[in-house]
Amino acid sequence: MEKSGKESVSLSLHLEEPDLEALIEILSIYRIIRDMLNDQLIKDVSYIASSLLKLVNVVSSTDLIEILERGLQDPELDKALLNPPKIGLTGLLSALRDEDFQKGMGIVVALLKAIGKASITQ
């Protein structure tokens, strides 16, 4: 008997029905990803990831994150989320007398102005 240099290995594997179905699902997902993956998709994903990382870098270099974090941890916000108050025009006008509301509106107005200024230069 002459040897060809290659050895064959046989493997006996017992798969239950759920295991076989999971394996087929994994292979199907792999095939879909393989078929979708092309140079244009990689370029598009890298552009989006780059933009998101730039945005995260800019936002993290400001106090905005800390302010939002503190604001989201406010117990009054929790109460309002669980039982949202109905506020009409008169409620909005009376909220304008609240110093915290005025500061929040000032931040929102400054943010909107900055976005408007940035959109003009585009």
In a domain, 6, yes or no: no
pLDDT value of position 41: 84
pLDDT class of 121 with cuts at 50, 70, 90: low
Residues 55 and 82 in one domain: no
- Per-residue pLDDT reduced to its tens digit, 37-56: 888 888 999 999 999 999 88
Instruction: Look up residue 16 and give its DSSP letter.
Output: -
| 6 pLDDT higher than 90 | no
Residues 57 and 71 in one domain: no
In a domain, 117, yes or no: yes
The residue from 61, 76, 91 where one domain ends is 61
Residues 119 and 87 in one domain: yes
Residues 56 and 67 in one domain: no
Residues 42 and 71 in one domain: no
Q: Which are the contacts of 105, defined by CB distance < 8 A and separation ≥ 6?
A: 96
The residue from 28, 45, 61 where one domain ends is 61
Question: From the CB of residue 105, how many other CB atoms can be counted at a distance below 10 Å?
Answer: 13
Left (φ > 0), alpha (ψ -120 to 50) or beta: where does 62 sit? beta
The answer to whether the predicted template modeling score (pTM) of the entire model surpasses 0.75 is: no
Domain count, the chain: 2
Which residues span the domain enclosing 35? 18-61
Cα–Cα distance, 102 to 87 (Å, whole number): 16
